Amino acid sequence: MGGYDLSPGAVFAGYTIENGIGVGGMGSVYVARHPNLPRRVALKLLHKNLTSDDYVRARFEFEADHAARLEHPNIVAVYDRGRHRNQLWISMQYVAGTDVAQLVRDQVLPPDRALHIAYEVARGLDYAHSAGVFHRDVKPANILLADAPYPGESERVLLTDFGIAKALDDTVHLTETGMLVATLRYAAPEQIDGAEVDHRTDQYSLACTLFHLVTGAPPYPGPNPSAIMNGHLNAPVPRASAFRPGLPAAFDQVLAKGLAKKRADRYDSCVDMVDAARAALAAAEPDQTVPHRVPRTFDLDATDPDVTAFAPNSQALRVVLTDDSVLLREGIARLLQDEGIDVVGQAGDATALLELVAEHRPDVAVVDIRMPPTHTVEGIEAAITIRRDYPDTGVLLLSQYVETENVMNLLDGGAGSLGYLLKDRVADVDEFVDALNRVADGGSAIDPDLVGRLVSRPHRGHRPLDELSAREREVLQLMAEGRSNKAISASLFLGERTVEAHVRSIFVKLELAPEPEDHRRVLAVLTHLRAAPPPVSRPHPDL
């Protein structure tokens, strides 16, 4: 069983393991048989290498203690906890079914089903709040859908993983680390700021989740953590109706209140928010047609109904993974498989990589830049071969550190279907999966650290970049990180019109079309960063 320490039939703390059902950042989850009762449970084990971490151990134990206080039909029940062979464990209610993250991976839900799920979660949250417990990590992956217990019954909706819940009487010690443990895509502004949270924090995360259910993506998807955080903190609330035609304006107003930056401007309870959303839909009788899933680009100016959108392949992403470190490679493979990505092959060197690509024709080849036998150019040469011989396969390069020249050689062949990330970015699952999807869809995903190096590095000869002012270089770097004009304005403390003028000037000086495009326009700019002859002089347009 890849990624699991226990095999079927093994006995742990009296529980007999049937199979593994999940591996996460804190531990593994198994289906197991109770030692004394005819009952199956979900057995969660803390990773052994985390057992010595006082913070993580306390957080894991609080998951059991706080969740065990909660008895509600919409909350996964906790049965017991303990320590076995110096490893912490919790036994919980086993839920046969799926989670909402899997459900919405390839579809947008009908509004009535989305509201049913949100309402059931809201009931559980309001109950937990009344008991003094905040969840603090409400997101689709933590919402389980149980099979109907009887014919004719509807599916059951249960909220799980109170592992980062913070009770009102929680000790101060756990707050001193300053760790932000909520998933950024659904995190409230006060969580990002490290400020005090309350029940309205969970309400904000539920509003983000509802937005995702009805549109196919969270309100601030973002290409990287900084862009996502800027969205929650500064960007206007996008209108769901801009991405789901037929939703009424009143529904947008409900989400705008639920996603208010200030807690005081939100709903008093989670059920109040969902009830308001139901009333808005009932009054308008919107079109219930369910479109194909339509994830959006990550521009934070997503309040325009004409905002760019694209429809990806509905099949699971197929990936070939290459790295000479078996431990790292298998870890990445487990991470991708947990996200529903099909890892069709793994290799430890460039020769095996090319054989796998030829055999499987994957959507993306994840390539370690430095591989055996010389650990110099094997990865780059393999990437060049893949781009030349298998144009339908995108390439995502992974590197231990920024390698400017190697990546520039690849960018000379065009930025489409190409990605480059530092290996430490893989730890951010959302960012890594987003990069894979962008590369698979013909776009690009360039690490912000590389962008900064490209924009500011010393160079010989004249390049179009030489024409840019210092401020324009700052704007260009933020553009390349996926920032919208609004986000750039907030970061540099400039007016939006000033930023727009800088953007137009950059495109003129780099001899690119001045009309704004999506984020990939910046990656096209990167192909102009190599030395080039002076541009032909021409009148500068009136900006």
Those residues whose C-beta lies under 8 Å from the C-beta of residue 118, and which sit 6 or more positions away, are: 206, 209, 210, 213, 274, 277
Residue 44 known to bind ligand = yes
Task: Burial-class residue 331 by CB neighbours within 10 Å (0-12, 13-18, 19+).
Answer: middle
Hunting for tokens 């839920």 — which residue is that? 95
Amino acid at 273: M
Amino acid at 165: A
Cα(437)–Cα(365) distance, rounded to whole angstroms?
Answer: 12
Q: Which residues participate in catalysis according to the annotation?
A: 137
Beta strand pairing call for 156-159 and 143-146 = antiparallel
**539 close to 508: Cβ distance less than 8 angstroms:** no
3-state helix, strand, coil in the chain (%, to 5): 40, 15, 40
The first and second tokens of residue 216, run together, are: 């196919």
Cα(94)–Cα(78) distance, rounded to whole angstroms?
Answer: 10
How far is residue 437 from each of residues 2, 139, 375, 458, measured CA to CA in Å? 24, 20, 28, 33
Those residues whose C-beta lies under 8 Å from the C-beta of residue 81, and which sit 6 or more positions away, are: 61, 64, 65, 68, 88, 89, 90, 91
**447 close to 455: Cβ distance less than 8 angstroms:** no
Q: Is the dihedral of CA 222, 224, 227, 230 positive or negative?
A: positive
The first and second tokens of residue 258, run together, are: 């639920």
Other Cβ atoms closer than 10 A to 258: 26
Hunting for tokens 């862009």 — which residue is that? 227
Beta strand pairing call for 166-167 and 143-146 = unpaired
The first and second tokens of residue 228, run together, are: 């996502």
Q: Is the peptide bond before 73 cis (omega within 30 degrees of 0)?
A: no
Task: Burial-class residue 143 by CB neighbours within 10 Å (0-12, 13-18, 19+).
Answer: buried
* Greatest extent of the chain over all pairs of C-alpha atoms, in Å: 84
For residue 511, give the DSSP letter: T
How are strands ordered across the β-sheet holding 40-46?
Answer: 11-12, 15-23, 27-33, 40-46, 87-93, 78-84
Positions at the binding site: 44
Positions at the binding site for ATP: 44
